[in-house]
Chains A and B, each alone.
Chain A
Amino acid sequence: MLLEVQDLTVSYGPVRAVRGISLSVDAGEIVTIVGPNGAGKSSTLMTIAGEKCRPAKRGQVQVGGSILLDGERLLGQSADRIVRRGVSIVPEGRRIFATLTVGENLMVARAARRDRGDAEREMRDLIERFPALGTSLHRPAGHLSGGQQQQLAIARALLTKPRLLLLDEPSLGLAPMVVEEVFEIIQELRDSGLAILLLEQNALQAMEIANRSELLRNGRLEEIDSGRDGQKMLAAYFGIEAVKVP
């Protein structure tokens, strides 16, 4: 397993947002975590990405447990070091740099890498995969539509050459057709060998493309064993016996 999380706990003071969850993700698979808001999904993802571990947060956040990437410890490392280890996150709300151009947004991701690689070829591959970006390289990123921004956010994360990609609610605020496109991209990425941890409120669609689905409720994780049957998935999600879908 590429990513191994054991007994992860995240607390804000006496409030325990994540209570001892364990999960794993391997290369070439999508694991999705679904669950209601406030259950601790984002906290989990952000902690893996290193966002919560800065001493700057000054004792307000306590993290316990272990996070291993290929056997190496991630917990406690700074976010930029975690990125260099091969973990990249597309955070909730996309968080593109609105006043920078699309090209500059991409430049940030590339510049932070140690290996310069073949810049030209990477850009060509990228534009192939995300044609919408190719035509707007010089536009301020803030002018892009929601779907295009999502593509930019993913492209940007990909430029850091991750082995593990974390996606926090990529469908948020997007039209259904656009969501489909995005999910197609995610599947392509999985097929090319990336390990993907996907957080979604859009439970059904997420569970459809996932290899494994986990339900996060009140800080605890339960695996949903549902195969690909939509009705079983819904039932599992709501914790009831069966659902009649008209």
Chain B
Amino acid sequence: MSVAAGVTPSKEEVKRPRPRRPRGVLDQAWPFLSLVGIVVLLTLVLGNASGEIITYLIQALVTMIVTIGLYVFVGNSGVLSLGHAGLMAVGAYVGGIMSIPVIQKSTLLPALPHFLSSTALSLWPAALLAAVVAGVVGYLVSIPISRLSGLGAAVATLALLQISQVVLINWHVLSSDGGATPGVPVDTTTWAAVIGVVIALAIAYLYQRSASGIRLRASREDPVAARSLGINIPRERRRAFTISAAVAGLGGALYAHSVGTVSAADFFIATGFLQLAMLVVGGINSLAGAVSGVLAISLITDFFVQLENGQGVGPLKVNLPNGIETAIVSLLLLLILIKRPAGLTKGQEFRLPKRLGGRGALADAELEASAISSTDVAVATPTDDPGVA
């Protein structure tokens, strides 16, 4: 039974596999291209604004990289990680410290081994190194974590975050006095940040479409069914976690190069919470969710921070106490969890509209329903379908 283009399948039809039309490259790459487009557009529009707005923009873009990294693991596996701020920290410290000019390095970090303090890398080599190191750390961490689900994983990753904080503060190699380590050259330009975001998006998108990504999402929807198909769930999770760690590390390095200082407190609970909140608000199961969540929450926090600084926004000049923006984000997160748990994007990616040759937005209900295991319904399918038949 053929389905006319543009007609949402009725409930009976969901049960039978539909014949799929072959799709053009534009349609397949649209979820990726649309996000790149949004980011580039935003940067062009804000590119000539005041210095403060530029700072916010760079911060948002850098956070976006880390959140995309978070999505790669959390969104595809359905397992929560509260510890990604620690992976960001690895990237920040590696990418930051490697770039500190040689003259300063040995004084700032006397405990640093000589071969490290005698070299200084520029932004991109440092960032690359940071991503690799973070990826390795991520892989090692994923060995135990990949065996845990649900609450166990959440608690374990929280524990890891705590451990990372202790190490970062106390390891003398990283900072001379347990405080901040300054001296990182501030060379993350807006376009550097954009490039970072595009790289992160590309990695995330390619992973999402890869066989490993599909298998992981299958395990998210129905672990038992996935296992019966021969999917090795811990292995897929390790892969995703490693990739997600590398991306987070990249973000961390670019972050370090945007503030000029690496300090353990920047990579602790508040940061981790914010990144998670952004992902959840945007839509935990989709890449578009990572991007939109970061944009939405950055907008809101910047709005409130402006009010807190006493600078006012437009005609609005209220003096809000410091720190209130976290309360607002918390409230927003709670509301989303209650009213719209799938987030702003409802866990869907952006699709090329039918008018331009794409397949249009897929009806959420049928896809979510098909994931509920029941004797009445045929094979469970992953909720967001990047177009691989």
Contacts and interface: CB of A to CB of B under 8 A. Distances in A.
A17 B377 CA distance: 11
16 contacts: A12-B372, A13-B368, A13-B369, A13-B372, A14-B14, A14-B365, A14-B366, A14-B369, A15-B369, A15-B372, A15-B376, A15-B377, A16-B376, A17-B374, A17-B376, A38-B374
B355 to A, nearest CB: 28
Contacts, number: 23
**Majority-rule SS of B interface residues:** helix
B23 interface: no
Contacts of B366: 14
B11 A14 contact: yes
Interface of A: 12-17, 37-38
Contacts of B376: 15-17, 38
Given A14-B14, A15-B372, A38-B374, 6 more contacts: A12-B374, A13-B365, A13-B369, A14-B11, A15-B369, A17-B374
For the complex of A and B, list the 10 residue pairs with the smallest distance between their C-beta atoms, beginning with the closest.
A13-B369, A38-B375, A14-B11, A14-B369, A15-B374, A15-B376, A13-B372, A15-B377, A12-B372, A15-B372
Contacts of B375: 37-38
Interface of B: 11, 14, 365-366, 368-369, 372, 374-377
A15 B377 CA distance: 7
A226 B380 CA distance: 40
B278 to A, nearest CB: 24
A14 B10 CA distance: 10
A36 to B, nearest CB: 10
B18 to A, nearest CB: 15
Contacts of A17: 374, 376
Most chain B Cβ neighbours within 10 Å, of A12, A13, A14: A14
A17 B375 CA distance: 9
A38 B376 CA distance: 8
Contacts of A38: 374-376
Contacts of B374: 12, 15, 17, 38
A38 B374 CA distance: 8
A14 B376 CA distance: 10
Nearest to A36: B375
Nearest to B374: A15
